[in-house]
């Protein structure tokens, strides 16, 4: 199979049957589900410890009403983490490289935080549009700027995730192509390039985890302002 650079970003299909739904669901199926056991096996123990730790980290700044969001935010976090990390394996399709999926995640969640704020405490929510202590003359301009920044948030969330992952995957592809192409003619340069690839892969692993975390963290921050 001769792969072009577009193949890893193409929506997977097997003989005309679209597999994208399976591609999105599969990573979460790898995680063990909670049993009724008191003492679980190692993987389940580590998973629950990890989820506890992250939930505490994310939910401490929120007030009691915000804790209702912990389920969806933690599930989102585990989804993104598993999808991102599994996408680093060869010949896999990473759903989060598609802008459509990321926007589908970011826009409704951001809108939910906005509407919660506008419904429950409209003046405070709108009051966030003007930072404290601004000079009187700047107020109109600043409100316009803050509104723009507010409306651009979902776009930023989606595009941030997409761009980071797509760029990372593309870089891996390009540098490995360079390594393969240089192998017959200049093996030493090829080896240097493969070292770069090694470092890049480590960076990509970090980026995968960080991007998932940042997505959820920003959502929780937007929630903090509005709940």
The contact set with another protein (CB under 8 A) reads: 1-3, 33-43, 45-46, 48-49, 51, 71, 74-75, 88-91, 172-173, 176-177, 179-180, 194, 197-198, 201-202, 205
Nearer Cβ to another protein (34/147)? 34
Q: Report helix, strand or coil for 14.
A: strand
Cα–Cα distance for residue pair 183/178, rounded to 1 Å: 8
Nearer Cβ to another protein (74/214)? 74
* Least CB distance to another protein at residue 112 (A): 19
* Least CB distance to another protein at residue 203 (A): 11
Nearer Cβ to another protein (4/123)? 4
Angstrom distances, CA of residue 128 to CA of 14, 58, 117, 144, 221: 49, 21, 10, 12, 13
Nearer Cβ to another protein (16/91)? 91
- Cα 170 from chain centroid? 17
Angstrom distances, CA of residue 219 to CA of 17, 55, 209, 215: 34, 13, 16, 6
Contacts of 10 (CB under 8 A, 6+ apart): 93
Nearer Cβ to another protein (7/144)? 7
* Least CB distance to another protein at residue 194 (A): 7
- Going by the DSSP 8-state scheme, the letter that residue 13 receives in this structure is E
Yes or no: say if 190 and 183 are a contact pair by the CB < 8 Å rule: yes
* Least CB distance to another protein at residue 90 (A): 4
CA dihedral 136, 140, 142, 144 (to 10 degrees): 170
Nearer Cβ to another protein (90/140)? 90
* Least CB distance to another protein at residue 131 (A): 38
Helix axes 187-226, 42-59, angle to 10 degrees: 50
* Least CB distance to another protein at residue 23 (A): 17
């Amino acid at each position: 199979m001769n792969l072009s650079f577009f193949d890893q970003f193409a929506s997977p299909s097997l003989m005309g049957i679209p597999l994208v739904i399976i591609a999105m669901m599969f990573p979460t199926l790898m995680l063990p589900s909670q049993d009724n056991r008191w003492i679980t096996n190692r993987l389940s123990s580590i998973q629950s410890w990890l989820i506890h730790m992250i939930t505490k980290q994310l939910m401490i700044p929120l007030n009691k009403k915000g804790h209702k969001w912990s389920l969806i935010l933690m599930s989102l976090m585990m989804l993104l983490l598993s999808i991102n990390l599994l996408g680093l394996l060869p010949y896999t399709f990473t759903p989060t490289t598609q802008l459509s999926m990321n926007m589908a995640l970011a826009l409704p969640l951001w809108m939910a935080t906005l509407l919660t704020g506008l419904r429950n405490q409209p003046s405070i929510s709108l009051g966030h549009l003007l930072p404290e202590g601004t000079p009187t003359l700047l107020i109109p301009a600043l409100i316009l700027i803050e509104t723009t920044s507010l409306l651009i948030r979902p776009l930023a969330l989606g595009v941030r995730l997409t761009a980071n992952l797509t760029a990372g995957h593309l870089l891996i592809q390009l540098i490995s192509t360079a390594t393969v192409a240089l192998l017959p003619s200049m093996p030493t340069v090829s080896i240097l390039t493969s070292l770069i690839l090694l470092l890049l892969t480590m960076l990509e692993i970090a980026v995968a985890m960080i991007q998932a975390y940042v997505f959820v963290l920003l959502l929780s921050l937007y929630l903090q302002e509005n709940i």
